[in-house]
Chains A and B, each alone.
Chain A
Amino acid sequence: GEDVEQSLFLSVREGDSSVINCTYTDSSSTYLYWYKQEPGAGLQLLTYIFSNMDMKQDQRLTVLLNKKDKHLSLRIADTQTGDSAIYFCAERRDSSYKLIFGSGTRLLVRP
């Protein structure tokens, strides 16, 4: 199937780390992406990882990829109230134009 699955909701305290998880089904995925959507806005690309990598770090963001388990995670260090948003993971297979998105995880950061 084409499912990309994410948990619906995550609540953390400001200053803590957030970990948002995603699972996908197709082993031919080549690139996996994380997008952020704030209220009333489009999707903002945060980072991406190529399928032959295990980890990618970009400032406060760390992406971990477990290809064997088809599991992707996004860790946000020192989470701030401005990080409150919906986070989408997406996969791309082979050289397809099509990105397959999860339903999004709503992150709420409590002061």
Chain B
Amino acid sequence: ETGVTQTPRHLVMGMTNKKSLKCEQHLGHNAMYWYKQSAKKPLELMFVYNFKEQTENNSVPSRFSPECPNSSHLFLHLHTLQPEDSALYLCASGDSPSGSGEQFFGPGTRLTVL
């Protein structure tokens, strides 16, 4: 596989469920990102990891819990979500932003919370 992959592509869950989203990058990048894309809203940065260390948490509710075991893998653990959390969750990777800092995105996980 090449690029940035995400699984699952679609997820439907109830408010009491616990689930996890997975992201894997094959680009040799140091930084990984979680974004939330909701209808009619700009893309929202949720978390940033650089060399496995979290460098940014954009006031995300604790029902979203990220995990970065190494520079190639990123998880988003979900529990007791709300219907308004339904969105497309995008993972991205990139080099450290001292240079051009492009970010490369995966295809996303379409999450529906019932």
Contacts and interface: CB of A to CB of B under 8 A. Distances in A.
Interface of A: 4, 31, 33, 35, 40-45, 48, 50, 88, 90, 92, 95-104
Nearest to A97: B48
A41 B101 contact: no
Given A4-B42, A33-B102, 8 more contacts: A40-B107, A42-B107, A42-B108, A43-B43, A45-B103, A90-B43, A95-B97, A103-B40
Contacts, number: 58
Nearest to A102: B42
A99 B107 contact: no
A97 B108 contact: no
B90 interface: yes
Contact of B31 (A90, A92, A97): A97
Given A88-B43, A102-B42, A42 B101 contact: no
B50 A103 contact: no
Interface residues of B, number: 27
Contact of B102 (A48, A96, A104): A48
B107 A41 contact: yes
Nearest to A43: B105
Nearest to B88: A42
Interface of B: 4, 6, 31, 33, 40-43, 45, 48, 50, 55-56, 90, 92, 97-98, 100-108, 110
A34 to B, nearest CB: 11
Nearest to B91: A42
A96 B99 CA distance: 11
A103 B41 CA distance: 6
Contacts of A88: 43
B97 A44 contact: no
A99 B48 contact: no
Contacts of A43: 43, 90, 92, 105
